[in-house]
Chain A
Amino acid sequence: MQCADLITYLSDYIDNDLPVELTREAEEHLATCHNCKVVLDTTRHTVTLLKEHGQVAIKPVRRKAMFAQLETAFLKQPNQPG
């Protein structure tokens, strides 16, 4: 496997979606190619950092107010069976 192939298969390798034979070839390449190993490690770490960064939630006070407004709208919505 060449570097360009490794980059093409990188996401499938990270997601364990690569067939067994290609996984073996990727691991052989990664064992000897410093740059591709760096790309793999930094890609994994990029995802980890951004996952943590993206974990946000509605502020409790706003959440309570939003629920109250939506519950009122829910109860006011007329039934339209069928």
Chain B
Amino acid sequence: MADDQHLIAALRQRDTDAFAALFNQYADKLYRVAFNILKNDADAECVVQDSFLKLIEKLDGFEERSSLGTWLYRVATNLSIDRIRKARPTASLADDFSDDAPIMPAVFIDWAHTPEQWLSEDEKHRVLSAAISQLPPKLHTTFILREIEGLSTAETASVLNASTGAVKVQLHRARLQLREYLSTYFSERVNH
């Protein structure tokens, strides 16, 4: 936060080095979050651009209640979710509630040590994209922020305006749903 205070002060002076430092620190991070939610290059780039534009607009009135990073992650996540909801207005409500289903593993094939040998790079990419895309939005964004982006539980909770308990539950469900999806896929491959 001390670093943030210096950075914000420099940005308010329209210091271009400070803006370059901000962009270099966060552009790829925000892109990674947006791309993993949207799975579309152009849409993810728009989200990154719009996130920085929002910060530029609010710079002089920026209240340092959360870190710059948390604020930018929150904006990029919300803009990405808004784009999905606009694209699929009827699907979003059902998706938001479907993550309440209890999860108990049902497929016990041990594929942990061999999948790379079973899959071409193209197939691996397709299967992993499909696995993460089938998660309900809340689990999807929690998994991306915690596992792909490497944020802590507390940071993820702050980005999502959720409790740390809720983040832990959502991450647990996401991991188990993803495991089940991939286990089912590998199980079907073994049986064919």
Seen from chain A, the residues whose Cβ lies within 8 Å of a Cβ on chain B are 4, 7, 10-12, 14, 34-35, 38-39, 41-47, 49-51, 53-59, 62-63, 66-67, 69-71, 73-75, 77, 79-82
Contacts and interface: CB of A to CB of B under 8 A. Distances in A.
A77 B56 contact: yes
Contact of B110 (A38, A47, A49): A38
B104 A41 contact: no
A66 B48 contact: yes
A46 B178 contact: yes
Interface residues of B, number: 53
B146 to A, nearest CB: 10
Nearest to B109: A38
A27 B84 CA distance: 41
A49 B189 CA distance: 18
Contacts of B11: 74
A14 B131 CA distance: 20
Majority DSSP secondary structure for residues of A touching B: helix
A7 B176 contact: yes
A69 B20 CA distance: 12
Interface string B10-33: 011010100110010001100110
Contact of B32 (A7, A50, A54, A81): A54
A54 B12 contact: no
A46 B110 CA distance: 12
A43 B179 contact: yes
Nearest to A39: B105
Nearest to B35: A56
B37 to A, nearest CB: 10
Given A43-B179, A44-B112, A53-B129, A11 B28 contact: no
A77 B54 CA distance: 11
B172 A11 contact: yes
